[in-house]
Amino acid sequence: MRVPFGGMKAGFIGLGAMGLPMARNLARAGLLAGAWNRSGDKARALAAETATRAFGSVAELAGSSDAVVMCVSADADVLEVVDAIQPNLAAGGIVIDCSTVGADTAREAAARLAARGVAFLDCPVSGGVEGAKGGTLAIMCGGDPVAFERAGPLLRAMGRTIVHMGPSGFGQATKATNQIMCAGIIEAVGEAMAFARAEGLPLDRVIETLGQGAGSSWYFVHRAPYMARGEFPAGFRVRLHAKDLGICREMAARHGAPLPVAERALELYGRLIEEGHGDEDISAVFRLKAALFERGPDRGG
């Protein structure tokens, strides 16, 4: 087993809205070997900016890095990357997956890499693009605790609240728990704000007053003002939360359990996406709630 990643460097796969600023923070900490991205332009621009390498393939990246950090879109992407990098990873290496995918995918990836003596940590993040840029992400980790310790310098370069939740998959399960909660809260806040507006209440004063009470939440304090203005800049995009809730649904189905809160959010998000609001913040749920009150008293509920 190798020593902690003191002077060691990570290759980064997936320079999206989250991945690019996370890779930049690794570079600032002197921990980035280089990056690979599906569209090579981004990797070359990052390489030029940070004096690191733009790799031609994930296999090449794996052969030149002590650790691999990835931030991709879907469960299939994670397993595809794992299979592609596996032949070139040295035993004792660590793969850190910051994507949001299912816990079973994390467990499968961990099993495939364990065969080669490589550790896999599922490390989904929360805190959005702002948190990724500022290096203030919360990172929820599942996997071998020794590998988690060794990965500390890399994780601390990208996030602020870094918690080991348990074995493989537990990082993803924690993230899924959070996404279910967000789904219900944003619907509650949207419905309450639509009601308050219909009652003619001064919305700023409502937010200030109720924001101090037992009905308050991060989403109420930070997103109800969007609703009051009728503007929904992302934030956390409707279509991304919908993707995450699809993962939650599959995970719950393994227990034979429905997730009524998540299902209703998926229905609302489906309508928002149809109406062209998929790239707005999830607070756009207010649009649908407000519409219920705009039908007028004769048409009923």
Q: Is 171 within 8 Å of 99 (Cβ atoms)?
A: no
Q: Give the Cα separation of 82 and 79 in Å (integer).
A: 5
Site membership for a second copy, residue 300 (CB under 8 A) = yes
For a second copy, the closer CB: 92 or 211: 211
Site membership for a second copy, residue 23 (CB under 8 A) = no
H or E segment and range at residue 19? helix 19-28
For a second copy, the closer CB: 66 or 187: 187
Burial of 31 by CB count in 10 Å (0-12 exposed, 13-18 middle, 19+ buried)? buried
Q: Is 55 within 8 Å of 35 (Cβ atoms)?
A: yes
**Looking at the chain, how many residues does it have?**
301
Binding residue for a second copy, selected from 3, 39, 276, 299, defined by CB under 8 A: 299
**CB of residue 277 to a second copy, shortest distance in Å:** 19
Alpha carbon distances (Å) from 13 to 72, 162, 256: 7, 21, 34
Site membership for a second copy, residue 293 (CB under 8 A) = yes
H or E segment and range at residue 162? strand 159-166
Using CB under 8 A as the binding rule, the residues of this chain from 149 to 188 that contact a second copy are 161, 163, 165-166, 169-170, 173-174, 176-185, 187-188
Using CB under 8 A as the binding rule, the residues of this chain from 198 to 227 that contact a second copy are 198-202, 205-206, 208-210, 212-220, 222
Site membership for a second copy, residue 127 (CB under 8 A) = yes
Site membership for a second copy, residue 50 (CB under 8 A) = no
Site membership for a second copy, residue 129 (CB under 8 A) = no
The residue count for binding a second copy (CB under 8 A) is: 77
Residue 253 tokens, joined:
């189905």
Site membership for a second copy, residue 251 (CB under 8 A) = yes
Enumerate the H helices of 135-202 as residue ranges: 145-150, 152-158, 170-198
Using CB under 8 A as the binding rule, the residues of this chain from 273 to 292 that contact a second copy are 292
Q: Give the Cα separation of 289 and 129 in Å (integer).
A: 27
Amino acid at position 1, single letter:
M
**CB of residue 163 to a second copy, shortest distance in Å:** 5
Using CB under 8 A as the binding rule, the residues of this chain from 74 to 93 that contact a second copy are none
For a second copy, the closer CB: 48 or 291: 291
Q: Is 46 within 8 Å of 20 (Cβ atoms)?
A: yes
Active site (annotated) includes residue 175: yes
**CB of residue 21 to a second copy, shortest distance in Å:** 17
**CB of residue 147 to a second copy, shortest distance in Å:** 18
The number of C-alpha atoms within 13 Å of 118 and in the hemisphere containing its C-beta is 23
Site membership for a second copy, residue 254 (CB under 8 A) = yes
Catalytic choice (9, 42, 133, 175):
175
Active site members: 175
